[in-house]
Amino acid sequence: MKARYIREAKAINPLYDVREHRRAKAEGRDYDVDQLITIPIGFEEEGPQCWAHCCPGYKGEPPVCEPADDECRARVQKWMEVERPMQLDRIRQAAHPANLKKMKPKEQQHILDLCRVYGLEMPSASDPVVTPKPEPRPEPAKS
């Protein structure tokens, strides 16, 4: 399965070693291995989980990759059929006037832009506010 980066992204550098960095700092040496690396546009990632980089983020952030083969494309499509309706519902809930009031102006604008881009109906103030209910905690086992 392959995915191709369509935006620059940051990733943890596999050559970075925290222990070696601390040791060098204690000894007064420079440690010249960066903790993060920049992945350039066009780089192809191969692996069983690379399809996840081709999916939009939790609040509608654009994906950083596009599928580079049919296997990846099929996996992303399968995810979109299940997860995408739930994401759009979360955006609709966030766009409720009662929820928008709780956000910073930049966050409000982001949610309103998402509604406009995806063609979602804006909820009115008279609509009930739907908030997800937390799952009950499991009771501890009695001994």
Q: Tell me the pLDDT tens digit for each residue of 75-97.
A: 988 887 887 788 788 888 888 88
Cβ atoms 75, 1 nearer than 8 A? yes
Distance between CA atoms of 64 and 8, rounded to whole angstroms? Answer: 7
Q: Tell me the pLDDT tens digit for each residue of 2-25.
A: 999 998 999 999 999 999 999 999
Please name every residue paired with 65 in a beta bridge, in sequence order, or none if there are none: 5
